[in-house]
Amino acid sequence: MSQIPGKELNGTTAQRQDLAPCTTCGRHFAPDVLLRHDPICKKVFNKKRKPFSSLEQTAGNRNHHCEAAAPAKEQPEKKSNWRQHHEDFINTVQSAKQVTKALKEGHPLPPPPPPSINPALLQQ
């Protein structure tokens, strides 16, 4: 088996090297690595973080959300005419069934349904 210099298959090389602990975090490093790690570790661990408050986080989101939603409410909302669309659809289906039945039985075709007036297309 070929081995990489400084590495062994079972990992005992790390135990044989002289590892020094970091004064900040307590992890063990080789001396040359510890020289790079130590200033970075001190810099990271010396920063003071403000305690996280989920109450402030959710309250902040609500206030921000309400501010963004306020201008949208000032615009006039379109009235939904789903009921009229539904009734038109039902009438169309019933008329189509009557036409199909008349064609099968050989009867004259029923009169077409009255056209529905779309209020959005009317001139005001």
The per-residue pLDDT for 90 is 93
3-state secondary structure at position 12: coil
Residue 87 tokens read as 């009734």
pTM of the model: 0.34
* Residue 87: pLDDT over 60: yes
pLDDT one-digit tens code per residue, 34-79: 999 999 988 888 878 788 888 888 876 665 545 554 555 566 777 7
Residues 6+ positions from 85 with CB-CB distance below 8 Å = none
pLDDT class for 14, splitting at 50, 70, 90? very low
> Chain-wide mean pLDDT for the chain?
77
Q: Distance (Å, rounded) from C-alpha 54 to C-alpha 63?
A: 14
Q: What is the CA radius of gyration of the chain?
A: 39
The per-residue pLDDT for 7 is 47
Select the more confidently predicted residue: 64 or 101: 101
